[in-house]
Chain A
Amino acid sequence: MSESLTLGSHLTIWIEAFVTLALFSFLYKDNPIYKFIEHVFAGLSAGYYAGLIGQSVIYPQLLDPLYSDFGGNWILLIPFGFGMMMLTRLTPIGPIPDLSWMSRWGLAITIGSTAGIFLISQLHGLVMPQTLDTFASFGRAGNTVEFAMAILTLVGVISTLVYFYFSKEHVGVIGRVAKVGIWFIMVAFGAQFGYTVMGRVSLLIGRMTFLIDKWIVGSMGSMFN
C-alpha cells in the first residue's frame, strides 16, 4: 500500500490525521487548535451547502425547468416568489423601506403545509397500520407464544398511550397504568441505547483504523522506510 502513495495522497492523509487529532484534542480541553479546526469545519460546510443547494435545488428544480419549458412550469414562479420574499429580511437597505414583514408569508406557507402533510402521513403511515396490527395480531396468532406476544403488544401500546395522556393527573388506576407504560418505554430506550452505542464504537474504530493503518503504518511507514 505504502509504495503506491503519491505526494498528494500523503498530504491528504496527514491533513485528515491532523484534523482528526485536533478534534479529539477537545477531549482534553478547549484549545486554539480545536478552535481553528472548528471554524474551518463550520466555514467549509456553510460554503459547501450553499453550493449544494444551488446545484441540487435552484438550478435543476427552478432555473432549468423555467428555461426549458416556461409555459409548463410557470407555477414554479410562486415558490420562487416566496423564496425572494425571504430576502426582504435584509431590508431596509438604502432607499428600500422595511419590507421584512413579507418574509412571514413564506414561513407561514412552510409551517402550515408541514403541519398538514405530517398529520396525514403520520396518520396513514403509522397510526392506522399500528392500531390495526395491535388488535389484528390476535386474529393471526397461531400458537400460545404468538398470542402471548399479542397480549404483550396490547398492554405496551395501551399503557404507553395512557402515559402520554395529558388531561388526567397520573394518580390511581391511570397512574399505575402510566407507570407500566413508562417501563415499556424505558425497556425500548435501553435496547435502543445499546444498539446506538455499538454504532458509535464502530465509528471510533473506523477513525482509529484510519490513524493506525493509513497514517502511521501507511504514510509514516513509507516515509521513514
Chain B
Amino acid sequence: MIKLARNNSAASRSLFAICLLAVGLCLVLFVGGESLAQDAVDTSFVDSAVLDSVAGDTGLAAAATESDKSEEKSSGGLFLAQRWNALVLVLFFSGAIIFYTQRAKVGKSLFIRKIPGLEAIEDAVGRATEMGRTVLFIPGIQELDDIQTIAGVTILGRIAKITAEYETPLMVPVRYPLVFAGAQETVKQSYMEVGKSDSYQEDTVRYVAGEQFAFTAHVNGWMMREKPAANIYMGGFYAESLLLAENGFAAGAIQIAGTAETAQLPFFIVSCDYTLIGEELYAASAYLSHEPLLLGGLKGQDLFKATLIAMILLGVIGVLVFPETLGKWITALWNGKYGS
C-alpha cells in the first residue's frame, strides 16, 4: 500500500483509494460493527428529523414518522429494512456509473454538451498569460468534507495544469487547513503531470484565515493590490460571494464562478462573466479532464436524471389513473415505509 501511495499514476491512486476504503469497511464491519449498528438504531432520530422537516415542507404525512421511529428503533442490525428503496436507487446509480465508466475505458466516445463557462476558463488563463498577471482560484470557503469543495479542488487540478503549461502565476487562498493540504497536493500533482515541477511554488496555495469575513477582507485587499487577470470561484460560497465577485469586477478581472449554493448563485450571475449553476459545477471536472472515470460518472448521473423524469411521469399517471395499483407501487418505491 505504501508503494501504491508513493506511485503517482492514476491507476495506482485508484487502487490505493479502493484499498483504503476496503480496510475502512472491514474495520467498520468486524471491529466496530456492533457498536455502529447500535448507533444506527440509537441515532435514527437524525434521519427521522430530516424526514420530519421534509414532510413538513412537502406535505407528506408527518404523523407516520412517529410510528416509524419506534419501529426503526426495534429493528436493530446493520441494515434498516425499511430503507430498501434507497439501496435499490444506490445500486442502480452505482451500476449506471460503473457501466459508463467501463464504456469510456474501452474507448467508446461519451458525448458531453458544451458548457460555456468551462469553455471560457482556458481563454481566461490565456488572457492572464498575455497580461502577465495572476490567476486567482478560490475553491469555496467550506471544509474538505463538503462535496462542493471537493468539486472545486478537482477543477483546480485542471486549471493548475493550464497555468503550469502557460507558466502563468496562480494564487489559491483557502480558509481551512485540510483544504490547504488538499489544494496544495492537487496543484503540485498538476505541475508534475505537465512536467513543470520546477515552476511549482509552495506559496501558490495559501492559508488565509479561519473566519469567513477575515478571509474575504484579505482576498479583496489582495485583489485590489495585485489586480489578477482572471478570478475563478468554484465551490461552496456564502455571504462573501457578492463581496468577492463585485471586488473582482472592480479590479478588472474576467470572472468565472460555480457553486451549488442556490442563495449565492444570483450574486455570481449578476457580477461574473460566466457562472456554472449547481450541477454544472460537479460536471465541470469531468468536462475539463475528459477522464473516463469522471465522464462515466457524469453519464451515469444523466441516466439517473432521465430515470427520475420517467419515474415522475409514471408516478403522475399512477396517482391519477391507477391509484390502487401503479400509484401504490411507485409511491412505495420512493417512499420506502415512510408515509405509507
Contacts and interface: CB of A to CB of B under 8 A. Distances in A.
Nearest to A147: B320
A162 B309 contact: yes
A45 B308 CA distance: 45
Contacts of B208: 42
Given A41-B217, A118-B147, A167-B112, A109 B86 contact: no
Interface stretch (B67-75, B192-200, B264-272): B264-272
Contact of B269 (A37, A165, A189): A189
B273 interface: no
A123 B309 contact: no
Contacts of B47: 124-125
B210 interface: yes
A192 B182 contact: no
B90 A135 contact: no
A111 interface: yes
B305 to A, nearest CB: 5
Contacts of B31: 75
Say whether chain A's binding surface is mostly helix, strand, loop, or mixed. helix
B63 interface: no
A49 B214 CA distance: 12
Interface in B316-340: 316, 318-320, 323, 327, 330-331, 334-336, 339
Interface in A23-51: 23, 26, 29-30, 34-35, 37-39, 41-46, 48-50
Interface string A107-143: 1111111110011110111111111111111111000
B265 A46 contact: no
B211 A109 contact: no
Interface residues of B, number: 94
A3 interface: no
Contacts of B323: 139
Contact of A112 (B20, B32, B305, B336): B20
A192 B302 contact: no
A118 B282 CA distance: 13
B331 A193 contact: no
Given A45-B214, A124-B47, A130 B319 contact: no
A103 interface: yes
Given A105-B5, A111-B144, 14 more contacts: A26-B221, A46-B214, A112-B24, A115-B147, A125-B47, A129-B54, A132-B315, A132-B334, A136-B331, A139-B323, A161-B308, A167-B113, A170-B113, A196-B263
5 contacts: A42-B218, A133-B58, A166-B283, A192-B265, A193-B270
